[in-house]
């Protein structure tokens, strides 16, 4: 017996088997139950989302020997004949190959005759938008006043190409792409039923590659089974699709986080030897960065299904949340521009080098983080922060500075903690300090930073400086004391005020104001990297 592909073997036979189309199924079942079935339906949607499948189930429900009901029995001769493609009163037409008006007229000549064996004569026209204008004109009269024994079911991937006169005579259902989670669950069910060994990560990768199409997902699963000899592993699927595993994607981000251009180029060279799909790699990179952002801002509990959680936590501590957001934007923009690059490898490499060029300097830490960018650009980028640091009462990280917790902002500036834990540290104020214990407070508006993980990292950094026996307590409450973030904000506000004063006292500006009887809008004065 010839092999039947999974897409055909697992095609839904009843409405109960359809997934992700509840709004369509409910409407059709209600119409069938009330015996109020419209004479023309239009199913619109991209490939593989179930347009013809729903049409065939509706045809079965209309002609089931058990009677018209919200669910066909699936066992009578009419239902079996529809499933096997031999029901004479279900006339399926491929409009892509029968576009002419003569084909349409030949089809309509038989509309007047009653069904041969069923209750209704059902015309299923696939890709109906391919019909010519003359064909639509020939169809209109019959479509508006069809015989009572005829139903029209149209399917299309491009409903905008249908004439408005046709659309107005049909009940239209838009079938959207299915979420990857639903497709993944469907693939898992099929593998369990068929007895295939499949890694969950591999099914996730297949579901994402299907791009919302169940049929594409099943075709890819068939291909993966052939590739892996009836076993589906994540490594095999990644190789088959030309994509990367999460660990290899994170390996590309480590030199970016470290500012190591030579190591980054070496890893790209090693990657190029596998001849990957660079669009897919950028997609994987953007996905990893999105999950890094979730990890930094919502914690590990928000990623219960992440297999590379430990590696992602390590990377999350090396990158600022702002950097992750910037890198994500660079990744998706780089994917869009990949077609414009001289070759995909060069476009991919340029996207990652762009991430490296746009490093962010942490406040008070610019001198401690060597960058690969030129000294002039680094100095220009750090200018606002240096000006703010000069105005703030916060000491720089020099020998002997930042050792006394009583000067808490200076103490925080000297801590080695990075990433989201540094954000937490900068928003803490000192409540009390004894030789054995530090009590810190965080304003309620920053309570999202007070997670077990970030507090633990902050405590470890404090103990490194003050001693391993020091107890550190962090509570959320109104914090009247100074914070490093507050000092920086005051310094920036003072700099803004000085800039506004300089603008208002400028002789040329005052002359213009006097001449036109105008005024300087304070909010319009903005500081630039080179000054006000």
CB 221 within 8 A of CB 6: yes
Q: Residue 39's pLDDT is what?
A: 92
Q: Given a cut of 60, is residue 386 above it in pLDDT?
A: no
Question: What would the mean pLDDT of 168-193 be, rounded to a whole number?
Answer: 92
Is the pLDDT at 1 greater than 80, yes or no? no
pLDDT over 90 at 189, yes or no: yes
Q: Quick one: average pLDDT of 490-505?
A: 82
Place of tokens 């409540």: 431
Do 243 and 205 contact (CB within 8 A), yes or no?
yes
Q: Are 335 and 279 in contact (CB under 8 A)?
A: yes
CATH code, domain carrying 132: 3.40.50.300
Are residues 261 and 337 both part of a single domain? yes
In tens, the pLDDT along 62-113 reads: 999 998 989 999 899 999 999 998 999 999 988 888 777 787 888 888 888 8
Residues 386, 359: Cα–Cα separation, whole Å: 16
pLDDT value, residue 476: 85
Clarify whether residues 227 and 339 are in a common domain: no
Q: Is pLDDT larger for residue 428 or for residue 470?
A: 428
Q: Determine, yes or no, domain membership for 504.
A: no
> Which CATH number characterizes residue 273's domain?
1.20.272.10
Same domain for 29 and 157, yes or no, is: yes
| Most confident listed range (62-76, 261-275, 476-490) | 62-76
Is 289 a domain residue? yes
Q: Which residues contact 223 (CB under 8 A, 6 or more apart)?
A: 240
pLDDT of 365 above 70: no
Looking at residue 357, its pLDDT comes to 87
Residues 191 and 329 in one domain: no
CATH number at residue 199: 1.10.8.60
Say yes or no: 135 and 212 in one domain: no
My answer on whether 54 and 165 are in the same domain is yes
Please report, for the domain that includes residue 421, its CATH number: 3.30.300.150
Secondary structure (DSSP) of 285-330: HHHHHHHHHHHHHH-GGG-TT-TTHHHHHHHHHHS-HHHHHHHHHH
Question: Based on the domain organization, do 263 and 336 belong to the same domain?
Answer: yes
Predicted local confidence at residue 366, as pLDDT: 41
Chosen domain end from 226, 241, 256 = 241
User: Do residue 170 and residue 295 come from a single domain?
Assistant: no
Does residue 376 lie in a domain region? Answer: no
Q: Is residue 449, in this structure, part of any structural domain at all?
A: yes
**Residue 222 is part of which domain span?**
180-241
Q: Please determine, for residue 117, whether its predicted confidence score (pLDDT) is greater than 70.
A: yes
Q: What percent of the chain has pLDDT over 70?
A: 88
User: What is the pLDDT, as a whole number, of residue 324?
Assistant: 92
Q: Categorize the per-residue pLDDT at 346 as very low, low, confident or very high, splitting at 50, 70 and 90.
A: very high
pLDDT tens digits, residue range 134-157? 888 888 888 888 899 999 999 999
Sheet holding 428-433, edge to edge: 428-433, 437-442, 471-476
> What are the residues facing 438 on neighbouring strands?
433, 472
List phi, psi (to 5°) of 469: -90, -5
Beta-carbon contacts of 346 under 8 Å, excluding residues fewer than 6 positions away, are: none
pLDDT of residue 3: 79
d(CA 39, CA 146): 7
Higher pLDDT, 299 or 399: 299
Residue with tokens 């969950």: 200
Q: What's the confidence (pLDDT) of residue 42?
A: 95
- What stretches of 186-236 adopt beta strand conformation (E)? 197-198, 231-232
Strands (E), 192-347: 197-198, 231-232
Q: Is the pLDDT of residue 352 over 90?
A: yes
**Per-residue pLDDT at 367 exceeds 50:** no
- pLDDT of 299 reads 84
- Given a cut of 80, whether residue 225 has pLDDT beyond it is yes
Asked whether residue 400 carries a pLDDT value surpassing 50, the answer given is: no
Share of the chain above pLDDT 90, in %: 35
Residues 211 and 320 in one domain: no
Query: Does residue 511 lie in a domain region?
Result: no
Which pLDDT score is estimated for 384?
41
Does one domain contain both 24 and 149?
yes
Same domain (yes/no): 150, 189: no
Nearest one of 217, 228, 139 to 178, comparing CA atoms: 217
Does the pLDDT of residue 250 top 70, yes or no? yes
Q: Which residue has the higher pLDDT, 256 or 96?
A: 256
Number of domains in the chain: 4
CA distance 180 to 201: 12
Residues in the chain: 532
pLDDT of residue 347: 93
User: Which residue, 123, 144, 175, sits at the end of a domain?
Assistant: 175
Of 284, 345, 355, nearest in space to 324 by CA: 355
Q: Write down the mean pLDDT value for the chain.
A: 83
452 is a domain residue: yes
**Integer CA distances (angstroms), 115 to 68, 105, 299, 329, in order:** 15, 18, 63, 59
Q: Which residue has the higher pLDDT, 434 or 123?
A: 123
Q: Mind listing the pLDDT tens digit for each residue in 31-67? A: 999 989 999 999 999 888 999 999 999 999 999 999 8
Together in a domain, 184 and 147 = no
Domain membership flag for residue 524: no
Which one is predicted more confidently, 501 or 79? 79
Of 319, 336, 357, which one is at a domain's C-terminal end?
A: 357
Q: For residue 348, is it within any domain?
A: yes
């Amino acid at each position: 017996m010839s092999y039947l592909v999974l897409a055909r073997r697992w095609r839904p036979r009843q409405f109960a088997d359809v997934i992700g189309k509840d709004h369509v199924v409910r409407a059709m079942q209600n119409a069938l139950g009330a015996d109020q079935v419209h004479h023309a339906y239009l199913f619109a949607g991209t490939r593989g989302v179930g347009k013809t499948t729903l049409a065939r189930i509706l045809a079965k429900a209309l002609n089931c020997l058990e009677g018209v009901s919200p669910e066909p029995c699936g066992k009578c001769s009419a239902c079996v004949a529809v499933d096997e493609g031999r029901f004479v009163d279900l006339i399926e037409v491929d409009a892509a190959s029968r576009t002419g008006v003569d084909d349409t007229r030949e089809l309509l000549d038989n509309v007047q005759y009653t069904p041969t064996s069923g209750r209704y004569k059902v015309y299923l026209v696939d890709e109906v938008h391919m019909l010519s204008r003359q064909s639509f004109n020939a169809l209109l009269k019959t479509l508006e006043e069809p015989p009572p024994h005829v139903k029209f079911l149209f399917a299309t991937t491009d409903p905008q190409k249908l004439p408005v006169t046709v659309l107005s005579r049909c009940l239209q259902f838009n079938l959207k792409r299915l979420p990857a989670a639903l497709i993944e669950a469907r693939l898992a069910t099929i593998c369990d039923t068929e007895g295939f060994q499949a890694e969950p990560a591999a099914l996730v990768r297949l579901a994402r590659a299907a791009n919302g199409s169940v049929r594409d997902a099943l075709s890819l699963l068939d291909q993966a089974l052939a590739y892996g000899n009836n076993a589906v592993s994540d490594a095999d699927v990644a190789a088959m699709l030309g994509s990367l595993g999460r660990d290899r994607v994170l390996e590309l981000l480590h030199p970016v986080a470290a500012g190591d251009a030579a190591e980054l180029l070496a890893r790209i060279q090693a990657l190029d030897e596998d001849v990957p799909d660079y669009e897919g790699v950028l997609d994987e990179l953007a996905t990893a960065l999105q999950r890094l952002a979730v990890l930094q801002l919502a914690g590990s509990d928000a990623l219960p299904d992440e297999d590379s959680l430990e590696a992602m936590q390590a990377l999350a501590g090396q990158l600022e949340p702002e950097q992750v957001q910037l890198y994500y934007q660079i990744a998706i923009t780089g994917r869009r521009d990949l077609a414009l690059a001289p070759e995909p490898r060069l476009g991919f490499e340029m996207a990652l080098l762009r991430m490296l060029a746009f490093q962010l300097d942490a406040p008070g830490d610019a001198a401690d983080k060597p960058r690969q960018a030129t000294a002039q650009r680094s100095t220009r980028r750090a200018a606002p922060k240096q000006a703010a640091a000069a105005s703030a009462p916060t000491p720089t990280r020099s020998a002997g500075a930042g050792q006394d917790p009583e000067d808490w902002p200076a103490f925080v500036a000297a801590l080695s903690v990075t990433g989201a834990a540094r954000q937490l540290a900068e928003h803490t104020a000192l409540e009390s300090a004894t030789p054995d214990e530090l009590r810190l407070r965080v304003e309620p508006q920053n309570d999202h930073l007070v997670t077990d993980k970030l507090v633990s990292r902050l405590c470890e950094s404090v103990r490194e400086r003050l001693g391993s026996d020091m107890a550190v307590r962090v509570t959320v409450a109104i914090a009247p004391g100074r914070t490093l973030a507050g000092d920086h904000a005051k310094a920036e506000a003072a700099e803004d005020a000085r800039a506004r004063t300089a603008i208002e006292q400028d002789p040329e500006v005052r002359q213009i104001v006097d001449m036109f009887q105008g005024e300087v809008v304070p909010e319009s004065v903005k500081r630039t990297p080179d000054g006000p």
